[in-house]
Structure 1
Amino acid sequence: MGSNDEQGSRRISIFDTTLRDGEQAPGNAMSAHTKLELALAIEALGVDVIEVGFPNSSPSDFAALQMVSQALTTARFCSLTRANRADIEAAVAGGGTERHQVEILVTGSELHMEHKRGITREQNLAETRDAIRFARSLGLRDISLGVEDASRGSDDLLHALVDTGLAEGATTVLLADTTGHMVPSEFGEMIAKVRSWIPDEIVLATHCHDDMGLSLANALAGIEAGADEVQATVAGIGERAGNTPLEELAAVLTYKGHRFGAHTTLETSRLYEVFQLLSDRIGMAPPRNKPIFGDNVFSTLAGIHQAGMLRNPITYEYVEPERFGRERRILVGRHSGRAVLRHVFDELGMPWDPELGQKFYEEHIAGQADGEYISTTELARVLSSTLLATADS
């Protein structure tokens, strides 16, 4: 389980799956060299485990595992495999056994057994047993039982899979809400149930999808119910609607961790530079309003907000931009008021001139077209030019 420090709260282990689940989504493909570059940047954040990919799926994923396994120095690395010997052999061939977690994906619901796999419960348990036993025979000791679609499986099946996995030597149990169909109360109940089944030394991990916008809320419910580790991705990229966003998880645990009795030791100030690197490499433009990484998250245009923020940013800013490698921006458009203009006068060391201020406000602020805005730096430049022109005349 997560270690207890920071006034008794549990340190939550962070498992980053940007390079695996994140890369699986259309448009997010990464070369082996790109995965290496991103893995090193993600490691610098202080994450515990980095999932590199599915080495038996393609030569590129195999090469990425070879490169990343040799380059990481602090984080462990993880390979995804199915519950079969060929996948596990490929993982060991690519990454060896030291500091290498193998996540063996098993079928966690009757729905998947019938409609996806076409196997019986007995076959499911048998392949789970054989896969983990085989992994241990190859020298692997860090083995995650990855229960796919656990959130739609029966308690009876889930309990049998967990018991089988632990009996064979699994060290982590990962419960996946693969289709993102649970609400936090449901997901928390499932985590609490499994936590009661397994020894304290077994890591219990969450993997939540965002199909109904609840991946973060579900992961937090999991932490509250006893989960030790959260699988997340930078900017929440991943299959369909994506996964638990790493940066949002970090923000909640930074500001509200005491409510969950949990904390993280991530280097949050470096998150944005990792996002910028990821965005550049996969050609992803940030949305305007995404928490932490959105273009407008630490920007304000409305005069009512600006009047307060210019006195003290805390009036309208709870999340601090500098904690996440961002900067505060006061933008000026037709929704801005005179307070920002007074601020620019002060910044220039100029006394407030009501007549000039009103004229400048009408021409350069109120007169802007819909959607237009400028920065306070640009506004100061225009104001300086106007004052110089007035003095010369």
Structure 2
Amino acid sequence: MSATKIDIFDTTLRDGEQVPGCKLNTKEKIELALALEELGVDIIEAGFPISSPGDFASVEEISKVIKTVRVCGLTRAVEKDIEVAGAALKLAKRPRIHTGIGTSDLHIKAKFRSTREEILVRAAQAVKWARNFVDDVEFYAEDAGRTDNDYLAKVVETVIAAGATVVNIPDTTGYCLPTQYGEKIAYLINNVPNIDKAILSCHCHNDLGLATANSIAGVMNGARQIECTINGIGERAGNTSLEEVVMILKQHKSLNLYTNIKTEQLNPMSRKVAETMRMYVQPNKAIVGSNAFSHSSGIHQDGFLKEALTYEIINPVEVGADSSKIVLTARSGRSALAHRLHKLGYQFNRNDIDVLYQQFLKIADEKKEVEDTDLQEMAKQYQPESVTV
């Protein structure tokens, strides 16, 4: 059976930019949009056009320069929002309007002071307004994660009938467990009569650290689009991390799912976003963190030096990272010490290493990391006549 394509909807420039202190100007947005196009994403959510003149200009300018990727603008289920988005996207070669409204009882009652019936009408109307400007309309059912499945199915059926081509099922507050989110997608696939006329999309937040797991559960159960950001940046605890979901699908070939992302560009793209948005990546971040391919434990180092696959499931080159690193600490073992000394040009036998290792541990206990200069000094002090450099 041939593999199924999963569309990657990147919202770094919209949801990602909602992080305090990460505001981008139009020039920066254009540069990142062009890099995202080169990376291989399928949709770029360029902004929320009605939110400010600057955001309108950014969406408009990105629409002019992007040649192959869909460019998307976000709106509320408000006619003026949709008109403004249509104007901003007028020059896009493949425009999409992303409109929607809250569907959970909490949102319906507390936020909109409305009823389920009224929300159905407003949802359908928003899609119809959007279809006046573009053929590709995505509808988001905000807080779908906490929306009753029976009612959510009615919403999805209604907006598809109104002309939605994609229906976004957001876990807006990051509340769902992966089993719950996957079951929600499966329920919609099995209970919405016209589901074959649209794509279901996963938009998961990371409030409980489950955004990636939930998105994967979604596509395993029939969703065909994942909405994500570079480095997982976004509102509150962030969005689904693009690099994580892409590499999960690539590593787990048994899922029979794939993306068009050029994975060797993941680390350079991560650095570009981090530098442009002034929001740096935690060292232990999967795939793109500075420690993602570092080994400091003696047991890990020994296994890695014998066979990299013992402790690395991804080749760093595959994701555009620097080579794997053996970091020397007090937890490191003899094999790592011997390996580093050999790389520095020193030739020691096993007995020499046993002696040097005791000296190494003294240094390591005093420092967080033993550097090459420390090793060179240690080697010079140890019987220089037996050393070849």
Q: State the TM-score, normalized to the length of structure 2.
A: 0.91
1:316 aligns with 2:316: no
- Distance in 2 (CA, whole Å) between partners of 1:155 and 1:347 is 60
CA contact (8 A) 1:20 1:52 kept: yes
Structure 2 residue 117 is the aligned partner of structure 1 residue 145 = no
Tell me how far apart the structure 1 counterparts of residues 241 and 77 of structure 2 sit (CA, whole Å).
27
Q: How has the CA–CA distance of structure 1 residues 27 and 323 changed in structure 2, closer, same or farther, with 3 Å as cutoff?
A: same
**344-353 vs 229-238, which moves further:** 344-353
- Write out aligned runs for 1:56-205 (5 A): 56-96=50-90, 98-138=93-133, 140-196=134-190, 197=192, 198-205=194-201
* Counterpart pick for 1:207 among 200, 203, 206: 203
Find the counterpart in structure 1 of residue 251 from structure 2: 255
Distance 1:370 1:281, change over 3 A: farther
Task: Report the more deviating stretch, 89-98 or 204-213.
Answer: 89-98
Q: 353-362 vs 311-320, which deviates more?
A: 353-362
Give the Cα–Cα distance (whole angstroms) in 2 for the partners of residues 61 and 371 of structure 1: 48
Q: Superposed, which structure 2 residues align to 1:287-366 within 5 Å?
A: 287-326=282-321, 327-347=323-343, 350-354=346-350, 356-366=352-362
Deviations 1:122-178 (A, max 9, x none): 33222222222222223x100011111112222343233222211221111111111
**Residues in 2 aligned to 1:366 and 1:134: alpha-carbon distance in whole angstroms:** 71
Give the conservation status (yes or no) of the 8 Å contact 1:332–1:365.
no
User: Any conservation in 2 of the 1:344–1:379 contact (CA below 8 Å)?
Assistant: no
Pairwise CA RMSD: 2.3
Residue pair 2:45, 2:72 contacting (<8 A) in 1 also: yes
Specify every segment of 5 or more residues in structure 1 that has no aligned partner in the other structure, as ranges: 1-6
Q: Is the 8 A contact 2:287 2:319 kept in 1?
A: yes
> How many residues in Structure 1 have an aligned counterpart in Structure 2?
383
- Which region of structure 1 is more displaced relative to structure 2, 298-307 or 268-277? 298-307
**How far, CA to CA, are the matches of 1:201 and 1:77 in structure 2?**
21
Is residue 241 of structure 1 aligned with residue 237 of structure 2? Answer: yes
Cα contact 1:56–1:87 (8 A) shared by 2: yes
- Secondary structure, aligned partner of 2:195: coil
The range that moved more, 185-194 or 124-133, is: 124-133
For residue 278 of structure 1, report the CA deviation from its aligned partner.
1.1
Deviates more, 1:142-151 or 1:328-337: 328-337
Deviation at 1:286, TM superposition (A): 2.0
Q: What TM-score do the two structures reach when normalised by structure 1?
A: 0.90
**Sequence identity (%):** 37
Does the C-alpha gap of structure 1 residues 371 and 223 become closer, same or farther in structure 2, counting only changes over 3 Å?
farther
Q: Deviations over 1:181-214 (max 9, x none)?
A: 1111111111112122133241111111111111
* Displacement after TM superposition at 1:357 (Å): 3.6
**Alpha-carbon shift at residue 98 of structure 1 (Å):** 3.7
- Alpha-carbon offset, residue 370 of structure 1: 5.0
Measure, in 1, the Cα distance between the counterparts of 2:171 and 2:44: 20
Asked if the contact 1:335/1:366 (under 8 Å) is kept, the reply is no
- Residue 341 of structure 1 aligns with an amino acid whose one-letter code is L
